[in-house]
Structure 1
Amino acid sequence: MRKLLEIQQQLLPDLTDVLKKRYAILHQVMLTGIVGRRSLAVSLNMTERVLRAETDLLKAQGLLEIESTGMRISEAGRELLEELEPIMEELLGLSVLEDRIRDVYGLRQVVIVPGDSDTSASTKQNLGRAGAKALLSVIRENDIVAVTGGFTLAEVAEQLSPTFPAPLKDAWFVPARGGLGENMEYQANSIVSTMAKRVGAQYRLLHVPDLLRRDAYELLYQDQNVREIVDFIRRARIIIHGIGDAMEMVRRRRLDPQTVEEIRNAGAVAESFGHYFNEDGQTVHHMLTLGLQLEDIANAEVVIGIAGGRSKAKSIHAVLKFGQEDILVLDEAAAREIVKEL
């Protein structure tokens, strides 16, 4: 397949460009659900005249359905996208990047989506879709899945298919730790609830703050209900988490100036699981929080990390150096930046 694609790119480069363009249109319509021509043209950075000609052709082929409210992808279009996915990975050169990152960091699987999440909303959606697909590929009945909060995991929850072949009624979704003081839809409890409902699973919530003082931590852990939920969380077979930039997470947590300075001086570049990591993957600071501990992450059978954007490359590298990831889902911009530094 790779050799055939190389020949096609040499002899028919224009055909390759057309394929990429039409794939991008179908893919964006699928992500959006239903979309007007003007909005689609803006998101794809394409003129409405060019887009109209392409969508008319795709409609004639039975790949798009156009209604008064906008256009949506047909079932035939959805099936074609699935068949095209491995081919597009080759055309965009993503398979080579996936192999390189997987081998360097000793991962089980690497999935790279095209684009840059820092600048493209559709790439963020695609990242969430790939994360959802990775999760569904490993989850099974009776699993406990621990989930962190954040923008990326919220997108994964939205992209989980509500038509999963069979409800996972005996699986459980739980928050990896307490709630960060931010918008409710980005908190782990909300994401856990959405994920569980999407796949017909059960869920439990942890109603405690993410950041605790020592006296509050000890008092809460004495509560039988809290201790029971925390012990349940720590039995998770699967952990799915985002990766944050250290100083961005410091800001979101509204830490005191002294702690901020300590974290900065320690060379922290990444945050995950309430731990701050330097470029070598060493923990340089950790938050006192109820939920998963580092030993629980080491004991989990499957750890899935999801992050995107060129700006996150150093953070992703640091967490990979920590060495507990099994599956990594990232975007092309972050992947190319990581490989460049290698």
Structure 2
Amino acid sequence: MKEKTLNVFRKIAPDVMGTIKERYLLLRHISDAEPVGRRSLAALSGLSERIVRAHVDVLRRSGLVRFTTMGIALEPEGRRLMPDLLECFLRLNNVDDMQRRLCQHLQLKEVYIVPGDCDTDKAACEEMGRQAALLLNDLLTRGAIVAISGGSTMAEVARCLPESTAGPVIVPARGGIGNHVEFQANYIAANVAVKTHGTYRMVHIPDGLSQSALHLMLDADEQARENVALAQKAQIVLFGIGRADTMAKRRGLTTVETHALKELMACGESLGCYCSLDGHVVHVTSNAGISLKDIKKHPHVIAVAGGTSKAEAILAVMRACRTGILVTDEGAAEQILKMI
């Protein structure tokens, strides 16, 4: 659909635009959770049960969904239309323009914005993971070295990655952090390797060590040194982005260290680097692996993060990064554009 036609529709039938948006979002939730009941759909979408009932009745008559004893599910035609509906939805919401503006301001190769806000919409998190997984899948080749960081967003990317026989080498981008095994870079790297019939290496070094302790561990472990060196040669790097205050707490920084970060106006963190809103790296943790400061030496870089609450962090880190691809959501994108 041409942009000129969409602009006419927006002016003469704004109510229709709202209806299209609601029905697309319902189809997306059905796709992610099928079979699903009307009450669950209402909770997922934030719409009333009455509105959900009216929409799904129309979608059923159109042959896009079916009612079963277990709940509502997509018909094959509905599944086939999902990619086209997503493109139409993005255009209706001016996402094309937002992507161009962010790409230009942050000097990135590409920006992908998925519908919704990860802070309140689980489906947006899944859509973001799916988009990043598809981008990664397109880059995979046999023997390519892929470095991936830890975190819940990277775990979602690994979950959404389609199975292939690409055969890459997967390494953790950094050492371990936190107590959740499923969010550790080592664990995520192993999952990606299994799905792509590749091999993986592990780095058994915790994040946040002192410089002297880090050197001591690397000197004593030849395999760790080799795996860290391999990560630093990665052709493809995937990483998430966190708020500076959240990551300081997760790393167990002292009150003095946390206060120092506030004094330095750090608001975003990625790959061990804390960044201020203007894109300056104001603090770097001691850790084995890839640093945001050296990110431009890697040919393919994909950053994945969303949610309105992370907008400042994303803007800070991507201003420091200024390379590669950003995958985010509408909530974060709209807030970032307000700030810039």
- TM (norm. structure 1) is 0.92
| Correspondence list, 1:190-209, <5 A | 190-209=187-206
User: Displacement of 1:65 after TM fit?
Assistant: 4.0
CA contact (8 A) 1:244 1:312 kept: yes
- The AA in structure 1 aligned to 2:215 is E
| Correspondence list, 1:159-178, <5 A | 159-162=160-163, 166-168=164-166, 170-178=167-175
Structure 1 residues 247 and 86, CA gap change in structure 2 (3 angstroms): same
User: Displacement of 1:32 after TM fit?
Assistant: 2.5
Equivalent pairs: percent with the same residue? 36
> Structure 2: any 5+ residue segments left out of the alignment?
none
Separation in 2 of the partners of 1:113 and 1:236? Answer: 27
The one of 290, 293, 317 equivalent to 1:292 is 290
| Correspondence list, 1:159-308, <5 A | 159-162=160-163, 166-168=164-166, 170-222=167-219, 223-294=221-292, 296-308=294-306
Query: Residues 183-204 of structure 1: CA distance to partner in whole angstroms, max 9, x if unpaired?
Result: 1111112222222333333322
Structure 1 residues 197 and 30, CA gap change in structure 2 (3 angstroms): farther
- The AA in structure 1 aligned to 2:177 is L
CA contact (8 A) 1:305 1:325 kept: no
Partner of 1:174: helix, strand, or coil? strand
Q: Return 141-150 or 65-74, whichever deviates more.
A: 65-74
Query: Residues 248-285 of structure 1: CA distance to partner in whole angstroms, max 9, x if unpaired?
Result: 10011111222222222122111110111112222211
| Correspondence list, 1:36-47, <5 A | 36-47=37-48
CA contact (8 A) 2:103 2:109 kept: yes
Structure 1 residues 3 and 33, CA gap change in structure 2 (3 angstroms): same
- The AA in structure 2 aligned to 1:198 is K
Q: Return 206-215 or 89-98, whichever deviates more.
A: 206-215
- The AA in structure 1 aligned to 2:278 is D
Q: Return 217-226 or 7-16, whichever deviates more.
A: 7-16
Separation in 2 of the partners of 1:294 and 1:316? Answer: 13
Separation in 1 of the partners of 2:77 and 2:170? Answer: 33
Partner of 2:88: helix, strand, or coil? helix
Q: Return 214-223 or 326-335, whichever deviates more.
A: 214-223
Q: Return 146-155 or 55-64, whichever deviates more.
A: 55-64
Separation in 2 of the partners of 1:79 and 1:99? Answer: 28
| Correspondence list, 1:7-26, <5 A | 7-26=8-27
Separation in 1 of the partners of 2:77 and 2:234? Answer: 38
- The AA in structure 1 aligned to 2:204 is H
| Correspondence list, 1:73-152, <5 A | 73-152=74-153
User: Displacement of 1:16 after TM fit?
Assistant: 2.4
Separation in 1 of the partners of 2:115 and 2:22? Answer: 13
Q: RMSD of the TM alignment (CA)?
A: 1.9
CA contact (8 A) 1:303 1:324 kept: no
Q: Return 255-264 or 274-283, whichever deviates more.
A: 255-264
The one of 318, 324, 327 equivalent to 2:325 is 327
> Structure 1: any 5+ residue segments left out of the alignment?
none
Query: Residues 276-330 of structure 1: CA distance to partner in whole angstroms, max 9, x if unpaired?
Result: 1112222211111111134652210011111111121221111122134310111
Q: How many correspondences in the alignment?
A: 338
User: Displacement of 1:33 after TM fit?
Assistant: 4.4
- The AA in structure 2 aligned to 1:93 is N
The one of 302, 312, 315 equivalent to 1:314 is 312
Partner of 2:55: helix, strand, or coil? helix
Separation in 1 of the partners of 2:188 and 2:34? Answer: 21
- TM (norm. structure 2) is 0.92
Separation in 2 of the partners of 1:325 and 1:337? Answer: 21
Structure 1 residues 34 and 219, CA gap change in structure 2 (3 angstroms): farther
